[in-house]
Homo-oligomer: A and B are copies of this chain.
Amino acid sequence: MNAEIIAIGSELLTPYRQDTNSLFLTEKLNELGVEVVFKTIVGDDRKRLTDSARLALSRTDICIFMGGLGPTEDDLTREAVADALELPLRRDPKLVTALEERFASRGWNMSSNNLKQADVITGAVVLPNPNGTAPGQWLAGQFSGKSKIVLLLPGPPHELTHLFEAECMERLRAKLPRKSIAKRVLKIAGMGESQCDARVAPIYSRYTDIQTTILAGPGEIQLHLRKQADSLFAAQERVDQLVHAMEEELGDFVFSDNGDSLEQIVAYYLQMREATLAVAESCTGGMLAERLTSLSGSSRYFLGGAVVYSNELKTDFANVPAEFIRKHGAVSRQVAIALAEGIRNRCGSTLGLAITGIAGPTGGTEEKPVGLVFHALASDTGTEVVEKKYPGDRQRVRRFATQQALDMVRRKLM
């Protein structure tokens, strides 16, 4: 079975807004063994919408329409899909009552246009939407001699996700041949995309039954593996076999094989070793601390740190003598080491982590170009330092640097 996702709304055809619901829906449909073969985005235009609905019905088994279920004149999904199916709309008295009660309970007047939201395509099941006024609709039947499933879902993400999980997953599962999907994600730090691919391509290309997708971000490669089969056990075993072969090849460049972020892995090791961490950041300006504290409960292992943007603060918060900074320069191997050791001493943490560099686009010199970053990690056994020259814009350089710094903590503790 295959599916088409149709996102409806003129705002999705502006430069400002993007459909994100389809990523969630695709993940859920893939879990059920359904492949998404088209995504269409169409505005609030009755004719274009009806044509799109007709086309989707002619070319895919499952047609999911999202958005355009509200009370305004622009909300035309119900009408257009009913036209495409050549089925009439009926006004559902129970939905009318529910709408009236909803408005009355808030002390609001209900304008008559709200009644549109009680219109149901003949033969459709109403899917309750506890987070909004417009319910979803489910229709399964024969259209033009073929079995089709048609879904109407509300556009706001929190309404759509809840309604889909609660009302659609089981209904779909019951209609679909039983398929199982085995998945794994490998995450890799400290390696470039082409370098990583050169090492794993000879392996995954032997597993043609497994879909392998490589995603690359600054300092992180993700390998998404997915296999569909009748038996989950067999499929998972096969995927695990490929994971194992890749892990053999990549060794400790792999930091996670279960979806955890690098922050989570670092948090895990710090807690396992009963260690604490403090940071001193110059060019990353707080991004490293922000990533470490993005996890709830991070106060158990993260003490805090200093954003030592000015040289005076490098001295005051991380005990780096002014004379020392003058001698070596704020962006130097020596100052990185001194910052890591200084912040460790000041905070009394097990580990001290420091970053100093030139994030750009300005501030670079021939000797110290934009993208040059020193990362240092201090512990009771000494201090290590890593020098890198990162490509890309300010945001990318900063992201690369925090990734490298976190990876140094992981390697130290693992």
- By beta carbon, the residue of chain B nearest A316 is B346
CB distance from A299 to the nearest CB of B (A): 6
Query: Is A112 close to B, CB under 8 A?
Result: no
Number of A residues with CB within 8 Å of any CB on chain B: 73
Q: Within the complex, which residue of B213, B284, B308 is in contact with A16, where a contact is CB–CB below 8 Å? A: B213
Whether the Cβ atoms of B17 and A215 lie closer than 8 Å is yes
Contact of B26 with A37 in the complex, beta carbons under 8 Å: no
Kindly identify, within residues 354 to 408 of chain A, every residue whose CB is under 8 Å from any CB belonging to chain B: 359-363, 394-395
**Contact indicator B306/A293 (Cβ below 8 Å):** no
Q: In whole angstroms, what is the CA distance A26 to B279 when docked? A: 42
CB-based contact A303/B299 at 8 Å:
no
From known contacts A293-B309, A360-B296, infer whether A42 and B38 are also in contact, taking CB-CB under 8 Å.
Answer: yes
Q: Which residues of B contact A305 (CB under 8 A)?
A: 286, 306-307
Tell whether A320 is near chain B: CB-to-CB under 8 Å. Answer: no
State whether the Cβ of A148 lies closer than 8 Å to any Cβ in chain B. Answer: no
CA gap between A297 and B360 in the complex, in Å: 9
Contacts of A298 in B (CB 8 A): 285, 309
- Choose one: B13, B30, B312, B362; the contact of A37 (CB below 8 Å): B13
A337–chain B nearest beta-carbon distance, Å = 19
Indicate if A166 sits at the interface (CB-CB under 8 A): no
B36 contacts A13, C-beta separation under 8 Å: yes
- A289 and B307 CA atoms in complex are apart in Å by 7
> Does any Cβ of B come within 8 Å of A292's Cβ?
yes
* Cβ–Cβ contact B313 & A304, under 8 A: yes
B306 with A304: CB separation less than 8 A:
yes
Is B285 a contact partner of A289 (Cβ separation < 8 A)?
A: yes
Binary interface encoding of chain A residues 258-281 relative to chain B, with 1 for a CB under 8 A from any of its CBs, else 0: 000000000000000000000101
User: B27, A38: Cβ atoms under 8 Å?
Assistant: no
Give the residues in chain B near A27, CB-CB below 8 Å: 15
Chain A, range 201-216, C-beta contacts under 8 Å to B: 213, 215
Residues of B within 8 A of A215 (CB): 16-17
- A304, B308: Cβ atoms under 8 Å? yes
Identify the interface centre among A40, A290, A292, A316: most chain B CB within 10 Å of its CB: A290
Q: A41, A308, A312, A316 — which one has the most chain B CB atoms within 10 A of its CB?
A: A41
Question: Chain copies in the assembly?
Answer: 2
Residue of B nearest to A305 (CB): B307
Question: Quick check: is A91 within 8 A (CB to CB) of the other chain?
Answer: no
A253 beta carbon closer than 8 Å to chain B: no
Nearest CB of chain B from residue A312's CB, rounded to whole Å: 7
Answer whether A290 and B293 are a contact pair too, CB < 8 Å, given A11-B213, A40-B38.
no
Q: Which residues of chain A in 66-106 are interfacial with respect to chain B, using CB atoms and an 8 Å cutoff?
A: none
- Residues from chain B with Cβ under 8 Å of A36 in the complex: 13
Q: Is A20 an interface residue (CB 8 A)?
A: yes
- A25 nearest in chain B by CB position: B15
Q: Tell me whether B299 and A309 are in contact (CB under 8 A).
A: yes
Interface on A for B, CB 8 Å cutoff? 11-18, 20, 23-24, 26-27, 30, 35-43, 45, 48, 51-52, 55, 59, 213, 215, 222, 224, 279, 281, 283-290, 292-294, 296-299, 302-310, 312-313, 316-317, 346-348, 359-363, 394-395
Q: A283-B293, A286-B287, A286-B288 are in contact. List 11 more A-B contacts (CB 8 A).
A: A16-B222, A18-B18, A37-B45, A38-B40, A40-B41, A281-B286, A284-B290, A287-B290, A289-B307, A289-B309, A304-B313
Across the A-B interface, the 8 shortest Cβ-Cβ residue pairs? A285-B293, A286-B289, A286-B286, A15-B27, A304-B309, A286-B290, A39-B41, A304-B313
A-B contact pairs, 20 of them (CB 8 A): A13-B38, A13-B39, A15-B27, A16-B224, A18-B18, A38-B40, A40-B41, A284-B293, A285-B293, A286-B286, A286-B287, A287-B290, A296-B394, A297-B362, A304-B307, A304-B309, A306-B307, A312-B348, A316-B346, A316-B347
